[in-house]
Amino acid sequence: MRAILEATWYVLEDPQAPGEHLVMESVGQKLAPVWLSREEAETFVRQSPASRGMRVGRLEDLVLKEAFLVALGLLGVRQLVVGYQPGRPQAVLLERAQALREIQQRMRAGLEDS
């Protein structure tokens, strides 16, 4: 999980509604897709009709990732799907709450170090 949390995240944003991100639902669970490269995110947009018109946003620092994870929690999202592409089952699932705790711990550690 460390490598995923440290990497730049690419997420899909609705350009017509700032702050709105793509959330998917599967078997009654809400999931938020995250990609570790812009190319992967753009491929998803091309292959998924539901995401057409969305733009790829970039989350680099811990503060932005924390805000994203908190907002997803308010929407009832329980897991992140890292690297999801339609028809390819290689995606990694991360618990949103666990990822948020890890990021907040890193932020506290960074404050303590400075």
Backbone phi, psi, residue 103, to 5°? -65, -45
Check whether 105 has a pLDDT greater than 80: yes
Question: What's 72's domain CATH number?
Answer: 3.40.1350.90
The residue segments making up the domain with residue 22 are 2-113
Check whether 112 has a pLDDT greater than 70: no
Give the tens place of pLDDT for each residue, 2-55.
899 999 999 999 988 877 888 898 888 999 999 999 999 999 999 998 888 899
Percent of the chain with pLDDT over 70: 96
Alpha helices in 20-95 (DSSP H): 38-47, 62-74
To the nearest whole number, what is the mean pLDDT of the chain? 91
Q: What is the tally of structural domains in the chain?
A: 1
When pLDDT is averaged across residues 85-106 and rounded to a whole number, the result is: 92
